[in-house]
Amino acid sequence: MIVQQTLTQLRALKLDGMASAFEEQLTLPTSARSRSRTASRCWSSARTLTATRTAWSAC
């Protein structure tokens, strides 16, 4: 039920690409999903590190 609500909300917000990616992720085997989450965390950490370096260099 939560999955369907999420998809409905994403489409209502005109985030069709995110909805499609979410549906695709649901069809992946569990090991592929965990790799995807790990990659996402790494990307998030890299962006945070870059933002921190940029802020420090501006001082």
pLDDT at 4 over 70: yes
Residue 59 CA: distances (Å) to CA of 5, 54, 56: 45, 9, 5
Cα separation, 7 vs 17, whole angstroms: 11
Residue 14, Ramachandran bin (φ over 0: left; ψ between -120 and 50: alpha; else beta): left
User: Does 8 have pLDDT greater than 90?
Assistant: yes
C-alpha span between 21 and 24 (Å, rounded): 5
The pair of structure tokens assigned to 58 is 């501006």
For residue 52, pLDDT over 70 is answered with no
- The C-alpha R_g of the chain, in whole angstroms, comes to 16
